[in-house]
Structure 1
């Protein structure tokens, strides 16, 4: 049965507003509607200038990450029945707000690019594919699930305190290739992360793990990268 939901949204347009402000909108929703559905209803029928990112609406693209009742979530995965009839929606913390719920993600992607998040192997390709054992594939399976939503990085107090910290998401994507038995650039990635603003900035607070919409064991992955640096080889941490 449909009921009234009040959205309290932190709004800000740098072209017209001196400071951010909260605006409230009431919509009729079903318990199984998502917060994204409620935002769409506001934008489509009440306030067309409301700005936020969205794309697939299935928890795959990661574009609609935002703070919902103070917690980093994907708006397309949070059901109305799980948040009550009054919901506060705010942009992710730690990034410059472009407008309303849209933040500047370029610093995030710059840190992501810094860890070489792609397969590197200059050896002559085999006649067919580069084979792996089941165990080798399972070694990095968890960190392949990252959708680059930035929910983990923007939930991290170390990132809030220092924007130069490479951040959990970048380390997760480095982990995915560091522990890939077919890749040959693990040493270079570990060297890049063995830095004051690299993996050692992590204080093992677990906010990142709790914020991840894909349930990646992020803190565990960061710990494995630390061990690989200490042991001098990712193979030594198996």
Structure 2
């Protein structure tokens, strides 16, 4: 890149450049690269302390504890997940945590780092101080940093996170495409990017209090409600009224107090709080029982009230 910048600067200044100038720029770049490599070899170890939550229900000591590990961050890649992998490979093979893509796509490495829910693969190691790593809060811990996601995934499954085609349009499976305009697709921006890492739901105080009660009187949480709104605004889906009727329970949606912890910790920078507020507005403008011949029809604009000819 430095060679390219030098050549572009000469090109703008003199409209041309010679071979000698090109070689000079190349030698300068090579010299800078060699100096960086030499500096890297001379780097002294820089030790960093990580305190990690440990809990093994099958071990001798069943009480959780915090265990300290020291890592040379000059000999480690920059992310917290890299440090966890280095600890597991070189110091303690019994350390348990989830990981998969290492690129912020799968959402499996969600943990609590220094009091904030984050993806370990996207959070850089702080060069100073001690980093404390806990499992996601208010979740049942299976072992160390691994939590039980069954309740979270069951709540997500209750919103029916799949397209339900319009009954009046479906003839037979595979015979018809469900097309969507660019404008309608733009309504789902900021919704379809959710990776179900549970960082938002486990940072929500209301989910701590009422997210683990018995269904159907449990708060579904920001992640499930964000995905519910995603399918409601999808113009290709034909079960809008059915989805809304299932979300009318006060405990499922209306326990949200708009604290917006979910928005502040989302690794994909989504806005579950805004989606929940729009979902409330959407629920308030729809009647409970649609006309029988209109069941399965999606409204043209999700931000407007249901037209009079579509609802009783």
TM interval, shorter chain, is over 0.9
TM-score scaled by length of structure 2 = 0.72
Which is strand-richer, 1 or 2?
Answer: 1
Question: How far is the alpha carbon of 1:236 from its aligned partner?
Answer: 4.8
| Secondary structure class of the residue paired with 1:10 | strand
Which of 295, 303, 306 aligns to 1:237? It is 303
- Per-residue CA deviations over 1:22-41 (Å, capped at 9, x if unaligned) read 00000011486100000001
**Which residue in the other structure is 2:151 paired with?**
107
CA RMSD of aligned residues (A): 1.8
Does the 8 Å CA contact 1:4/1:85 hold for their aligned counterparts? no
Q: Does residue 1:11 correspond to 2:11, yes or no?
A: no
Equivalent runs, 1:120-159 vs 2, <5 Å: 120-121=164-165, 122=167, 123-124=169-170, 129-159=177-207
Question: Highest relative contact order (Cα 8 Å, sep 6+), 1 or 2?
Answer: 1
The answer as to whether partners of 1:32 and 1:79 remain within 8 angstroms in 2 is: no
- The secondary structure found in structure 2 opposite 1:38 is helix
How many residues matched? 237
Alpha-carbon separation, structure 1, partners of 2:227 and 2:128: 35
| Structure 2: segments with no counterpart, 5+ residues | 1-42, 213-217, 288-298, 305-312
Q: Give the corresponding residue for 2:226.
A: 172
1:191 shift after superposition: 1.8
Distance apart, 1:80 and its partner CA: 1.1
- Normalised to the residue count of structure 1, the TM-score between the two structures is 0.94
Q: Is the 8 A contact 2:77 2:83 kept in 1?
A: no
Larger radius of gyration: 2
Residue 61 (1) aligns with residue 106 (2): yes
Deviations 1:41-71 (A, max 9, x none): 1101000000000000000000000000000
CA distance in 1, matches of 2:107, 2:180: 29
